[in-house]
Amino acid sequence: MHDIIDNRPTVSILIAAHNEAANVDACLRSVLACSGPDGFEVVVVDDGSSDDTAGIVKRIASSDARVRLVSQVRGGKGRALNLAIRNARGATCLVTDADCRVPASSLSGMTSELECADLVYGTFRLWDGPADGGLWLKIQESKQRVKWSPWAPEVFSPVGASMAFKRVAWQDIGGSAENGTGTDRDFGERALRRGWVVSCSIADHSRVLTEGSSTYSGFLRQALRWRNVRAFRNLLTGSWQGSEQVLALSYASGVSLVFLLWTVWCMVTGNWVGLGLGVAGVVGVDLVAYSRALLRMASRSETRMWTVYFLGWVLCMVPVRLCEIPYLLTRLVRGVAPVWETVR
């Protein structure tokens, strides 16, 4: 672990923030409360915010020398993180999002994991902020409970809101991609291709807290934003890297495409029974992927209800399946978010 006690460089915690005035104060307070190296610093890049994000960070920085603010015109998360690293001093870098809260053990835990890896991705869970803390929040949280259970299939699932890496790896990789979405996954995939050791952690110290969507429309927009536009483009143009990416994208986007075409055909022909079977089929596909985890969780009283909430999550994802292909194609053609997406 990089610690100033043995004269090693400091750890840098990097945060890209755009219009996060409502969240950045709480985020920084949680980061500054972390236990770990005494010499860590926090570099926040204000990505062209139109609210008081920069002002809040400045006020915190005026009373805590560990915090530094860097500003840029609106350029996206990838460019903001590259700017943050260029202004950072640490040989070890941690990344979180401005709308997250990190556990107190995050700094010490994530840096210790870098003793066996060069890049570590964590995960997240939902917290009860302004969002509904009842059934709706549990439905959203259920995906994380099932996906990160001990019985779920092992998949490469990078979470950019909880990430740690060695600076030398970032330099060798060439930094984060500065256009499009899917920059977190792209960074990890390029690290793997360059021979760096990449791992995913489900330990408590790697699970940052993030706010759930308070409305279904917000959930839908968020789910679409997380579609990997860059990887989809690579699949269409044949510029992918590795057969596993082809299989994963062909499966995910292929199911969405078939479901979209089937739905349109059923609605045009008035085949409502067929439409119902199509919905049941796409729900079944998502359930089969986690069948082992769901069966194990259903057999345990302490996790049984999460399987019920997960069924609700799968049903909520049906409209996402319908919108996925039009969304991806619109992003590829226009190069920007569709008009129905609210850019944060």
Mean pLDDT value across residues 300-308: 91
In a domain, residue 149? The reply is no
* Residue 18 and residue 79 in one domain: yes
* Residue 308 and residue 164 in one domain: no
**Does the global pTM surpass 0.85?**
no
Domain residues for the domain of 57 are 4-122+159-214
State the CB neighbour count (10 A cutoff) for residue 157. Answer: 14
Task: State the total domains in the chain.
Answer: 2
In a domain, residue 132? The reply is no
* Residue 260 and residue 328 in one domain: yes
pLDDT digits (tens, 9 = 90+) for 67-119: 999 999 998 888 999 999 999 999 999 999 999 999 999 999 999 999 999 99
Answer for the pair 183, 78: CB distance below 8 angstroms, yes or no: yes
Does the pLDDT value for residue 2 go beyond 50?
no
- Cα-based distances in Å from 232 to 242, 304, 325, 334, 344: 14, 35, 10, 15, 22
The first and second tokens of residue 160, run together, are 């950019």
* Residue 254 and residue 295 in one domain: yes
Does the pLDDT value for residue 325 go beyond 90?
no
Does the pLDDT value for residue 30 go beyond 80?
yes
Does the pLDDT value for residue 245 go beyond 60?
no
* Residue 103 and residue 192 in one domain: yes
In a domain, residue 278? The reply is yes
Does the pLDDT value for residue 272 go beyond 90?
yes
* Selection from 255, 249, 294, 310 nearest residue 278 by Cα: 255
Answer for the pair 12, 93: CB distance below 8 angstroms, yes or no: yes
153 DSSP assignment: P
Q: What CATH number should be reported for the domain holding residue 194?
A: 3.90.550.10
In a domain, residue 339? The reply is no
